[in-house]
Amino acid sequence: MEIKVDIQAAPLSLDELWAFLAAAEGGGIAIFGGTTRRITGERVTEQLSYEAHGSMARREMEKLAVKAGEQWDVLRIGLIHRTGIVPVSEASVLIGVASAHRGPAFEAARFLIDELKVSVPVWKKEHFADGTTEWQGDDWVR
């Protein structure tokens, strides 16, 4: 199984991820994109920004990909997280899985984003339209 993980400040490229996954020549590709949401409850977001413990984040994402590969029959996995400012509607994270059949691709992708959110050392800061900012993450989920 091939794995590609990265943390980068540049905008994330769906095309590059797709090309990497398509090279597996499987029958299904599942991609999840986490994007900056405009409205949360009553609060309006101007943008998000992200900070990472880069070297450790890459290692943790690699470990997650290995775990996913042990649980599902998949061919390639890509996980890319963006740092710095992520404007509304842009992706902060892309998770992609290629497999021979669609079931494992969907399931592994779900697992990967759920696990990334609880274990990878990246932090999100909300920049609200009213000018206030707020680091997210008051407590550990697990």
Partner 1 sequence: MTVTVNVFARLREQLGTSAWTESVPEGTTSRQLVKVLSEREAAISELENVLRVAVNDEWVQKDRILEDGDEVALLTPVSGG
Binding residues with partner 1: total (CB under 8 A): 30
Per-residue binder mask for partner 1 (CB under 8 A), 66-85, x = binder: ---------------x----
End-to-end CA distance of the chain: 28
What is the Cα–Cα distance from 96 to 77, expressed in whole angstroms? 6
When asked if residue 132 is in the footprint of partner 1 (CB under 8 A), the reply is no
Beta bridge mates, 20 = none
By CB under 8 A, which span of 11-19, 37-45, 103-111, 129-137 interacts with partner 1? 129-137
110 binds partner 1 (CB under 8 A): no
**DSSP conformation class of 11:** P
What is the radius of gyration, based on Cα positions, of the chain? 15
**Residue 135, interface with partner 1 (CB under 8 A)?**
yes
Residues in contact with partner 1 by CB under 8 A are 34, 50-53, 55-57, 59, 81, 92-93, 113, 116-125, 135-141
